[in-house]
Structure 1
Amino acid sequence: MNRAILEGPKRRISGAHGAWVEELPSVLWAMQTTPKTISRESLFSLAYGTEVVLPPEMVFLTLRTSSYKQKDFEEGLRANLDLLVKRRAKTHLRTLAYKKAIAQVYNHKVRLRPIKVRDLVLRRAEVSDPTRARGKLMPN
């Protein structure tokens, strides 16, 4: 997350030292409102249960902003907040499945080798007993 915060102003500011202060709020806003690839949800929607209305949508009216009614909005917001726990749980499961798939790809060449009693195993030299100084390879 910190790397993403640092990369945002770097891309927008090249050579203008000290201008990052003005760009930081827009970078943070973009991070909170952009859906993440893993969870397919934005941080804003997971926190508040609804999608954000971007500033350009208020200037250039869209179907969503032109058909806005306060009463309908409040009812819809209550319904979204009731379903928010399920959305968070589904997002959590999606994230766990993604991490499991990444681990499988990373570990696909690992072969399990069972260790039996009296097998020689690689041990750290500083952990081994100095009175039985036989080196790194010692019976377990």
Structure 2
Amino acid sequence: MIMIHKSIPFHVEHVIKDSNGRFLIIQGNLLSTRLNLINIYGPNEDNPNFYSNLFLKISDLQGKCIIAGDLNCALNPQKDKSSGMDNTHNRTRKVIKQFMKELNLSDIWREQNPTKLQYSCWSGTHKAYSRIDYFLVSTELVHF
């Protein structure tokens, strides 16, 4: 779900829904800026194909992106996992980072908090905290 307050002058032009409920893309305009609002609930397993297919779809969109959601993958295990180690989701992490670079996406929370260790998830199985929830934004939006 993507919620937009009624006072925000966002005009929705197109909605793309994943048949499995893993992502939602809302294309539209905010004032004079073309935006793609993307919500993701990534697979729990190391599934780079899901992210490759999603980011290829995103790369075809016009405008800037705000991607938010649960990627189910720590992008920087040294900073985003309490144990500092993560041998899981290696292929997924690689694909996400590759597309972040290609699409000029920034992990805005990490950019604003370069050394802070804060987590969004506890895994009883791995006995570790991790940050798997992200806001990735087009670098052109970072100054906002």
TM over 0.5: no
- Give me the TM-score of the superposition, normalised by structure 1: 0.21
Higher percent of residues as strand = 2
Q: Quick one: higher RCO (CA 8 Å, sep 6+), 1 or 2?
A: 2
Normalized against structure 2, the TM-score is what? 0.21
Which has more helix, going by share of residues? Answer: 1
Report the structure number with the largest CA radius of gyration: 1
